[in-house]
Amino acid sequence: MSGGDHTAAQAAPGQGVASRPGPGPAVSWLGQRLRLRVPKGLGRGVVSGIPLGWLLVFFLLPFAVVLKISLADTAIAMPPYTALLDWDGEAVATLQLNFGKYLFLLEDTLYLAAYAGSLKVAAVSTLFCLLIGYPMALFIARQPAERRPLWLALVILPFWTSLLLRVYAWIGLLQHNGVINNILISLGIIDQPLVMMQTDFAVYLGVVYTYLPFMVLPLYATLEKLDDTLLEAAADLGSAPWKAFLTVTLPLSRPGMVAGSMLVFIPAVGEFVIPALMGGPDTLMIGRVLWDEFFNNRDWPMASAVAVVMMVVLVIPVMLLRNGQNKTAEHG
């Protein structure tokens, strides 16, 4: 730009900006009034209040209703439970709480076995999801950036189909005259069909297949953010790849492992569809017990007590785990 042009540009600085009309006096005054009237921190309170309100409406209130039913007595009429407040003729309310359902849970071995079976299935399934999902997430995170969406789409592709259809597809593969047995017999590998349906193996397979994406996605989100220069530095210092993985990658991916394990373990404890369709008669899980108590026995207080105890069993360890993580992060 020549000196004359530069002088002209300085003399008329608004040539490129003057064509954009600015806000009128009324609009500017209204904006200033709105800014003055908005309390400080209101936006942050609104943003944080939306999820808190969601939890209040869709978690705490339903849990309070279930807790109320668990403290009532079983009735024959609808609803099949009594009211907690008993009003006499003088309009005096009497609070009647029945803790007998919770005491019965501790005495009956059926419910204890159901809790133990649910925790066992959830724990074993979570372990297998971690062992299978970690290499998958690490593989996707190491791919070029333009290929990662394709691999992630393949991971979440099963969610585009109904869960019932996927379970029935596995039944068609695993049953006595299913696809797997027919292929093995035609190849001469086996002489008699394998018994795979109505077994614990089928339940574990169905749960792992269903909840594996819940493990892969948090692990990928953590592994994708890792700094590759840390592995390069470890290699420069003479560390073998497997040792660099154990000392660098694995510890830094712990948040993803914890998040994925929680996303798999918690819903797997209350799983009902997969054990009912793929498990045997001896497959006892708490989801089946809840179904039987609600719909077959019509004992809503007992079913609510079972649900409340299951909620406590799941929530307390999660809260302790989160508290330990926060303390570790503060000290770290």
The two tokens of residue 260 are: 């994925």
Candidate from 14-23, 73-82, 244-253, 275-284 with smallest mean pLDDT? 14-23
Q: Domain of 132?
A: 108-298
Residue 160 has pLDDT above 70, yes or no: yes
Residue 332 is predicted with a pLDDT of 56
Residue whose C-alpha is closest to residue 256's, from 227, 229, 211, 216: 216
| Residue showing tokens 């708490």 | 286
Q: Which amino acid is at 153?
A: A
Residue 169 is predicted with a pLDDT of 95
DSSP string, 39-98: PTTHHHHHHHHHHHHHHIIIIIHHHHHHHHHHTS-B-SSSSSB--SEEE-TTS-EEE---
Q: Is residue 61, in this structure, part of any structural domain at all? A: no
The residue ranking higher by pLDDT, 315 or 31, is 315
Q: Is residue 59, in this structure, part of any structural domain at all? A: no
In tens, the pLDDT along 107-159 reads 888 899 999 999 999 999 999 999 999 999 999 999 999 999 999 999 999 88
Domain count, the chain: 1
| Residue showing tokens 């793929």 | 278
Residue 329 is predicted with a pLDDT of 65
Q: Is residue 1, in this structure, part of any structural domain at all? A: no
Q: What is the mean pLDDT of the chain?
A: 84
Residue 314 is predicted with a pLDDT of 86
pLDDT band for position 6 (50/70/90)? very low
- Running DSSP on this structure, what letter comes out for residue 143? S
Q: Is residue 216, in this structure, part of any structural domain at all? A: yes
Residue 45 has pLDDT above 80, yes or no: no
Q: Which amino acid is at 228?
A: D
Residue 1 is predicted with a pLDDT of 47
Residue 271 is predicted with a pLDDT of 92
In tens, the pLDDT along 67-99 reads 999 999 988 888 888 888 877 666 677 788 889
Q: Is residue 291, in this structure, part of any structural domain at all? A: yes
Q: Is residue 162, in this structure, part of any structural domain at all? A: yes
207/214 Cα distance (integer angstroms): 11
C-alpha dist (Å) from residue 212 to 26, 75, 241, 258, 326: 58, 42, 26, 14, 27
What is the share, in percent, of the chain residues with pLDDT greater than 90? Answer: 53
What CATH code is carried by the domain that includes residue 155?
A: 1.10.3720.10
Residue 181 has pLDDT above 50, yes or no: yes
Residue 281 is predicted with a pLDDT of 82
In tens, the pLDDT along 197-237 reads 999 999 999 999 999 999 999 999 999 999 888 888 988 88
Residue 204 is predicted with a pLDDT of 96
Residue 12 has pLDDT above 70, yes or no: no
pLDDT band for position 301 (50/70/90)? very high
